[in-house]
Amino acid sequence: MHGLGHQYQGFDVRYNYIAYNDAEYRNIISAFGVQLNFTTNIVFGNRAQCIVNASVLEKVVAYY
């Protein structure tokens, strides 16, 4: 998945199961310059140069 844009664009990636990808020298998930809601996803057993490569404004909230 690859997303490009500017800071006023955004998208939601929720409730997904991303598993067993073999991307070797690429990224599994890339997001540059967009607002990204990447909550409640399961990312498991992937192999890549970088699993999640994001260059966005982050608001991280951890629920315990």
Q: Record the pTM.
A: 0.61
Does 60 fall in a domain?
A: no
Does 64 fall in a domain?
A: no
For residues 47-61, one letter each, b for 16 or more C-beta atoms within 10 angstroms of the residue's C-beta and e for the rest, the string is ebeeebebebeeeee
Does 43 fall in a domain?
A: yes
Domain limits at 50?
2-55
**Residues 5-38: tens digit of each pLDDT:** 766 677 788 898 989 989 888 888 888 877 778 8
Does 31 fall in a domain?
A: yes
Number of domains in the chain: 1
**Three-state secondary structure along 12-53?**
ECCCCEEECCECCCCEEEEEECCEEECCCCEEECCECCEEEE
Residue 17 pLDDT? 92
Residue 58 has pLDDT above 80, yes or no: no
Does 61 fall in a domain?
A: no
Residue 57 pLDDT? 62
Model confidence band, residue 59 (pLDDT cutoffs 50, 70, 90): low
Residue 52 pLDDT? 81
Does 63 fall in a domain?
A: no
